[in-house]
Amino acid sequence: MLIANSVLDRVFFCNSGAEANEAAIKLARKWGIQNRDGGYEIISTNNSFHGRTLATVSATGTAAYREPFGPPTPGFVFVDYDNMEQIREATTPQTAAIMLEPVQGEGGVNVPTSDYLQQVRVWCDEQGILLILDEIQTGMGRSGMLWAYEQAGIEPDIMTSAKGLAGGVPIGAVLAKEHASVFVPGDHGSTFGGNPLATAAGAHVMRRLLEGGVLANAKARGAQLQQRLAGLQDRHVLVSGERGIGLLRGLELSSDVAVDVANAAREAGLLVNPVRPDLLRFMPPLTVAAAEIDQAVAIVEEVLDSIEQN
C-alpha cells in the first residue's frame, strides 16, 4: 500500500522514526561508498530533528540534542535550512546524500521558500547524490496530502515515515527507489520490524486515509486552523503571525512566552507544544472536527487575553 501510493519502489519496516532514519542513513552511506568512490557524508540542516539514537542525534542539527552524549557519529555536515547556496558550498566528492525535513517540525515549524526543495532535487541530480526526505512528521496526511513531497512537486530517492503510520502502534518505515536500494540480505534487520500487529494497524490507517475521508478532512481543517490562527494577530500584541502546512502549524509570538501559554492552555484542556521560546506548535488529530478547531483557538485566545492583561 505504501509503494502503490508513493513514488518509491521498496519498503523496510522497523519500529520507530529514529529506526527508520537509522536505516536511511545506513542505506545512503552504503550507496555512497559504492557509487561515490567511498563518499559517505550526509548534508543535514541546522535546527533539524531526526531522532534520539546515536546516529540520528548526530544527524540532528540542534546542538542541545547532540552535545550531552560525547563525540557524535562522524559523517554529517550542517547547513542552514532553506539556504541553497550553503548546500552547494558543502557538497564535496565525499557527499553521498542530503537529508531534509520538507518542513522542520521540532525546529519551529519552519517552512522553506516555495522552490527550495525543487532546487535541492535539481542539485542532487546534477551532482549524482541522493535526496533523503524525513517525512516522519509531515507524512501520512499531516500536510493535507499523503506526503509533503507531493506539494513540492519533487520525488525523493529515500523517504522515512513513522508517527501516524499506524495510529499509535509502534512502527516505522524506510522507503527507497530501486536505484538507491543497495541493501542485500544481512545488511539490515529488526526483530520486530514488520510484525503482524503493527503492519495490520498500518494497513488500517492507510485505508482510512485513502478511503475514509481523512485526507480531505485534514486539508479542510488545516485551512481552517490557518485562518483562525492568522486572525489572532489582529487582536493580540503577543501574536506576530502563523506558519505551517496542513495540520502542522506554528503560532508565532512576539516575546518568549510560549511555555507560559502552553502551560495555561494545558490547564484549560488543550495540549500545544512550545517547540521554541516564541513559537507554539499545533498538531491536532487528522480526524479533528471543525468545532474542535474553534474550541482550541478559543482556549488560546483566552490564555493570550489573560497574559496580556497581566
Active site residues: 49, 134, 163
- For residue 89, the tally of other CB atoms under 10 A from its CB is 10
State how far the Cα of 96 lies from the Cα of 40, in Å rounded to an integer: 5
User: How many Å is the maximal CA-CA distance in the chain?
Assistant: 63
Given CA atoms 85, 86, 89, 91 in this order, what sign does their dihedral have? negative
Rg (CA), the chain: 20
Alpha-carbon distance of 154 to 276, in angstroms, equals: 29
Residue 81 to residues 58, 117, 192, 216: CA-CA distances in angstroms? 16, 11, 34, 30
CA nearest neighbour of 303 among 261, 250, 267, 256: 261
The whole-angstrom separation of Cα 38 and Cα 35 is 7
- Contact yes or no for 15/202 (Cβ under 8 A): no
User: Residue 181 belongs to what H/E stretch?
Assistant: none
Asked if 13 contacts 172 with a C-beta cutoff of 8 angstroms, the reply is yes
Residue that the C-alpha cell 502551560 belongs to: 263
User: Which residue, 276, 288, 295, 301, is CA-closest to 219?
Assistant: 288
In 3D space, the residue among 277, 297, 258, 275 whose CA is nearest the CA of residue 104 turns out to be 275
Whether 290 contacts 248, CB under 8 Å: no
Beta strands in 28-121 (DSSP E): 41-45, 76-79, 95-100
